[in-house]
Amino acid sequence: MRQQSREYIVILFIVGALALNYPVLGLFDRSAALFGIPLLYLYLYLIWIVLIILLIAVVQRSTVHEPEQLKPPSPTAGFSKRRRVDNTNPREPL
């Protein structure tokens, strides 16, 4: 995982902890209802799903793609098929 992704995850954690803590929750603790759902419950579920979606996006962007597997070298990979060019006879004793 890349360093920048770790930073984003920490930022998401801090934002989530602040969004789900008392001072902010107190703003939504009203008797009002939206679509028949109490405002506090709607806020909690929306923040929860947004945090999950953002976390999924960060993790998917942070995956490091592995390079393709290289083929194993053939047994003759280190040997050249060219003929020797030097003037010495390899069978002559030195």
pTM of whole model > 0.75? no
pLDDT at 9: 95
Residue 92, pLDDT > 60, answer yes
Instruction: Identify how many contiguous H helices and E strands the chain contains and give both numbers.
Output: 3, 2
Read off the pLDDT band of 2 (50, 70, 90). confident
Task: Evaluate if residue 3 carries a pLDDT over 90.
Answer: no
- Tens of pLDDT, residue by residue over 31-83, are 999 999 999 999 999 999 999 999 999 999 887 666 677 666 666 655 555 55
Structural domain spans, the chain: 3-62
Judge whether 61 and 5 are in contact, CB under 8 Å.
yes
